[in-house]
Structure 1
């Protein structure tokens, strides 16, 4: 495994949109905007800090002829210590974020495998937006590391705005999967050790809408700006490539420019800006309007949202007859954006952000750093940006008449324009540089990391699974338990072996019952816990359930129909509800009369019902989905975490263990085994121990030499 360099190992997750380290396609669609740029620049800025050893930005791999080949590359280096890591997530083609939800569990699984290949636990995981939050909550829980989250925009706020605008609740849910998004946001707010917000308004007003609102776990760190790219025009600055493209629209290109730069999204409110300009004759006479609204080839082939916005823009231009006064180029490059700000600044124009809602407003900072005054919506981030920079004024985004008057006033006072331009330059440098952002970010993150490592009475340890090379998996009843002295000796041996040996439990008990037994026998929480005869999988140290396993085993599972079919089978009594699970039906068997298992299997097959029938101790009957069993669960675990089956030692004592004992795993049976395992003696690859209970496990460890190499490595490391 490749070891990261010294320093913090930070994993960033930003799933949707198109992410690459060069020529970002900002404005291509609603998913490729400011968040994409923020994640890339944060990764680069973190990697430049000496406290950081490695930054992995995890995103979705896209293999689609409609987008660039770059997005299919598994790895892209951003800087000497930062890289984009692209992982599979559902269909290969490019998908909008609202339809990614069914595939996020798979993305989390691939993220686990990536971290295992690295061979070191991250110091923190930082999720961006609700879809990454879904992944981050599971990943951080599985690994036992702190989770940091940045929302970028919030579902409850968006839903409120859409309802205000007249969109029906049903339409919002159909288009945006809003309930699922908000639930993911609630989960991350209840889980995250730190939430990074861009503004205080975001903390006080937007996050306050959530049930899991914990302002003490939130910190305001405004995004940074690349001040080397965004700067004022020099006296001799000329011939920006985009200038010719702008000028071909304009009859009098030397007029001051009002610049608007955004995605073709209804929330960006470009239509109100056009009305404000078109209905103010003095403003039209004085200045030109430049609209940079994403990139397009053919509006007719675009998705409905952008297509609707662009059609409305063209209709308004025609209604007010703005030809010769307004520029709306079809294409621009990423490298054109700084030049656009400089063109507007050189013309003594202004930048405007008329969005209905603006969580932050990175374009405002870029404009300020370019010496361009700003006019912006009074919502969210712009209020705090202008409070810091004092380089413009705020407007009501719904008042077109007032918007036009403010623009005219702003462009009519030359002294104030120069004062705003100077203030913006100073404010951008003082409050919004990337080095300043990273310094504050690492200061807050370091507090989280120290707190996570602080000893507690019942300390939650990090998972050993990402670095475990071998895993011991045992049944509980009559295997682990039964002999206290043997049990203590077993865990002393495992402790000596070090973190390269993981410890797992596979039991027929339910989750709550398992925890009681662990407490009674003073057994440490395992790294892997399989309960309900393989119907549930949990990972330590926080015992987070594997939801992808639940999805996997529900195949052809008809629980109610099976219950009905089993009602007339003699010699069975349904166990209490505490022993039943969504994917497990459990019965007590009349030991004296026994069961005809083949007859039960035929009975279910004749009714077209599928179940895995597990008969244990000649006293218990469990019916599971056909894909569920202890054996299937341990194999699913090995595949997910990238552990070879030959590196798994499984030890059991009853019929429910037989599937995990067979195959390529290292199998062992303790001396006090149940008679239904006697036939496995014919399999020479399975070791039958003489010792009972934990003594039998220790005997199996010695037989396979399972701990020897690891003990030698630990001894060598201690000697060094």
Structure 2
């Protein structure tokens, strides 16, 4: 386990980490550089990891595998259904940011691993980047070493004595339910199903283990309501002597409960309204105990694989009671389901089976010919510099001839320690013309066409590795066709178009929002990075391309830490390269799109316009001296 620091040192809940995750991207890339070896793939878990892993995988040129676990769109729907306000959900969970991070991960991932088919079909299908062909169901592994059928001659476990206090005849078949005291676990319907079925009551005992409790009055509200409802239902149906509901149990009692139920040729019941996975069903199966379970969610996969029980509508108490009785009444089928459940649990849900399936999918992605790429440096002055100034051209470097001249003079005084680069939306040819017009010497590196092209020095050597890197999933013809369907977009002239950049003018009176444009492309399985700038330009790039990603690729390629790179810009297409661990500078004549960056510790808003703002930032960061790196502790979460 390697722990990479990012953001403040103080503890922050995960919902407020989003502001710092761009720094985590940079730390990961630098760690790989120090390690001297590129990973074969990156596997991320949850939305925030996907947000970090997607750009890292893109920078390294390796496949991304993603496991979403709890999904933001599903969580938002459930919270709203339970009466939460949209504004509360947003403020508490940063749910919009989380959903967008999940969309980014899904867009980048070569493989998405889900726990159940329901997760794929009903949850991921809510996303714009829903691509079931890239999704595979691999159930989580379960430690089954503690779960086995009852053995002849085994002594009675301690929990049996606890249950016997409630029951007139403890040897009758046991109908076992095991869950938290949570309304969604639907314990009340199970008690009703048992209480209203006289034949079932005569044949079996009901055992409900609903967490641990001391004084119900002292439990939190949700659990208190469930437990109170349980006791009232037991009293309503007069289940004293045939229903057990112990106050306490230990983790070691859980395997014993399954074995006790199996020894009485009983049944395990999961009556939950919805069950994302169903761990208890697997534990019961491994213990040789047949099941009756809700049909909603993971149980469909588990019962389908283990063939050891029946699925029911969790709201139909009558059918639930009959299904339980049918399992108990057919002895031959009970034995068959008991054996089948044990086989299925180990074949499909053990850690051994999980790892085998996972490695099989990974090998399929990597392929026999896959090799981790290497980054051979291009000969340049760059290996000799120990810091780098990279700035946008239009209205940042240029706009004031005196300021541009003063900046160049200041950099030349550094005795070759400071490299100089530009990052621009202009084409290479237009960049050269602009630099010449403003008497700016040829930079050490040029990031052009909004980050889709990288060239070095006077010879304008092309970084072919970057070109190969960003070609991933690039389909310009399909993108143009899809964008032609959107009102308010007009292609810019041919001379502004590049192999890896499609540029448009935007008529804000007609065009939809940027979010809607991105969603339009995602629904057509078109992978791109869409950048809106100056409230009038739209650039569509490969998913692995942007000025920010190009800058981080160069940082890694040349082994130059991001906090030794000063970055300056003034518009929306500079936003990404200003984020993270670089020393960012927004010059005084900036576009309103960058206002959202105020307050970030590594982004300095200069008073000076154009290159005067860059010179001001050089002094602010002491960039030609010891370099002053801002303290992230000063930023409010």
TM-score class normalised by the smaller sequence: 0.5 to 0.7
Deviations 1:613-660 (A, max 9, x none): 3547xx6444xxxxxxx8xxxxxxxxxxxxxxxxxxxxxxx5653434
Change (3 A) 1:318 1:214: same
Q: Matched residue of 1:313: which SS?
A: helix
- 1:533 equivalent in alignment to 2:494: no
3-state SS in 1 of match to 2:341: helix
Q: In the superposition, relative to structure 1, how do residues 109 and 244 fare at CA in structure 2: closer, same or farther (>3 Å)?
A: farther
Matches within 5 A, 1:95-106: 100-106=14-20
Equivalent residue for 2:303? 386
Superposition map of 1:110-509 within 5 A: 120=35, 122-137=39-54, 140=57, 145-157=62-74, 178-450=95-367, 453=370, 472-476=386-390
CA distance in 2, matches of 1:275, 1:399: 10
Q: Which residue of 1 is the match for residue 508 of structure 2? A: none
Per the alignment, residue 594 of structure 2 pairs with: 581
Decide whether the 8 Å contact of 1:275 with 1:316 is kept in 2.
yes
Q: Equivalent residue for 2:519?
A: none
Alpha-carbon distance between aligned partners in 2 of 1:232 and 1:364, rounded to the nearest angstrom: 14
Task: Kindly state the Cα deviation for residue 393 of structure 1 after the two structures are TM-superposed.
Answer: 0.6
TM-score, normalising length from structure 2?
A: 0.61
Instruction: Indicate if the aligned counterparts of 1:509 and 1:531 stay in contact, CA closer than 8 A.
Output: no
Secondary structure in 1 matching 2:568: helix
SS in 2 for 1:581: helix
Q: Distance in 2 between matches of 1:215 and 1:277?
A: 40
Aligned-residue offset at 1:217 = 1.2
Shift of 1:391: 0.9
Q: Summarize deviations over 1:552-609 as a string: whole Å, max 9, x none.
A: 999xx9x9xxx9xxxxxxxxxx57x5x9733689xxxxxxxxxxxxxxxxxxxxxxxx
Which deviates the most, 263-272 or 389-398? 263-272
Cα RMSD for the two superposed structures = 4.9
Q: Distance in 2 between matches of 1:122 and 1:159?
A: 34
C-alpha separation between the residues in 2 aligned to 1:144 and 1:296? 52
Question: Residues of 2 paired with 1:57 and 1:273: CA distance?
Answer: 46
Q: Bigger relative contact order, structure 1 or 2, given CA contacts below 8 A and separation 6+?
A: 2
Q: 2: CA distance between counterparts of 1:435 and 1:349?
A: 29
| SS across alignment from 1:225 | coil
Measure how far apart 1:222 and its partner are. Answer: 2.3
Give the secondary-structure state (helix, strand or coil) at the position aligned to 1:394: strand
Whole-angstrom distance in 2 between the partners of 1:87 and 1:241: 48
CA distance in 2 between partners of 1:548 and 1:256 (Å): 62
Deviation at 1:299, TM superposition (A): 4.5
Report the count of equivalent residues.
476
CA contact (8 A) 1:353 1:375 kept: yes
In 1, distance between residues paired with 2:68 and 2:568?
39
Q: 1:208 to 1:406 in 2, by over 3 A?
A: same
Equivalent pair of 1:224/1:437 in contact (CA under 8 Å)? yes
Distance in 1 between residues matched to 2:392 and 2:580, nearest whole Å: 30
The 8 Å contact of residues 504 and 526 in structure 1, kept in 2 or not, is answered as no
Q: 1:318 to 1:511 in 2, by over 3 A?
A: farther
Q: Partner of 1:582: helix, strand, or coil?
A: helix
Whole-Å separation in 2 of the counterparts to 1:373 and 1:391: 5
| CA displacement, residues 155-210 of structure 1 (integer Å, 9 cap, x when unaligned) | 44455566677777677667766545433432322222211122334323332222
> Cα offset for 1:153?
4.0
2:173/2:265 contact within 8 Å kept: yes
**Contact 1:137–1:188 under 8 Å retained in 2:** yes
2: CA distance, partners of 1:101 / 1:452: 40
Task: Decide whether aligned partners of structure 1 residues 510 and 621 sit closer, same or farther in structure 2, where only a CA change above 3 A counts.
Answer: farther
Aligned to 2:606: 613
Question: Higher mean Cα deviation, 354-363 or 240-249?
Answer: 240-249
Deviation at 1:354, TM superposition (A): 1.4
Cα distance, 1:303 vs structure 2: 4.3
TM-score normalised to structure 1 length: 0.55
2:321 and 2:288 mapped to 1: Cα distance? 22
Question: 1:8: which partner in 2?
Answer: none
The aligned counterpart of 1:664 is 626
Match of 1:495 in 2: none
2:449 equivalent to 1:516 = yes
| SS of residue paired to 2:594 | coil
Residue 475 of structure 1: SS of its match in structure 2?
A: strand
Q: Is the 8 A contact 1:271 1:312 kept in 2?
A: yes
Q: Deviation string for 1:664-683 (max 9, x for gaps)? A: 359xxxxxxxxxxxxxxxxx
Aligned-pair CA distance for 1:398: 0.9
